[in-house]
Amino acid sequence: MIRCDGAPKLVMHAVAAGGVFNVFGDWFLVFPMDMGMAGAAIATVSGTIIQLVILLRYLVSPA
């Protein structure tokens, strides 16, 4: 929906930010913090929430 609205770069940046956080978060929470699968799950959910926040800011902002 946002891509069709004329903001494809915003979608790309949101997905990239969430993905980069997920990759770094996986490494950091699984190995240095020794959290195992729980750390990987937290990183994945956090990456998705980052994407959600970025995209929701666009959707609720005044046109």
Burial of 47 (0-12, 13-18, 19+ CB in 10 A): buried
CA 58 – CA 51 distance, rounded (Å):
11
pLDDT tens readout for residues 7-57: 889 999 999 999 999 999 999 999 999 999 999 999 999 999 999 999 999
Residue 4: band (very low, low, confident or very high) from pLDDT cuts 50, 70, 90: confident
The whole-number pLDDT of residue 20 equals: 98
Q: pTM to 2 decimals?
A: 0.87
Indicate left, alpha or beta for 61 from its phi (over 0: left) and psi (-120 to 50: alpha). Answer: beta
**Element housing 17 (H / E):** helix 8-30
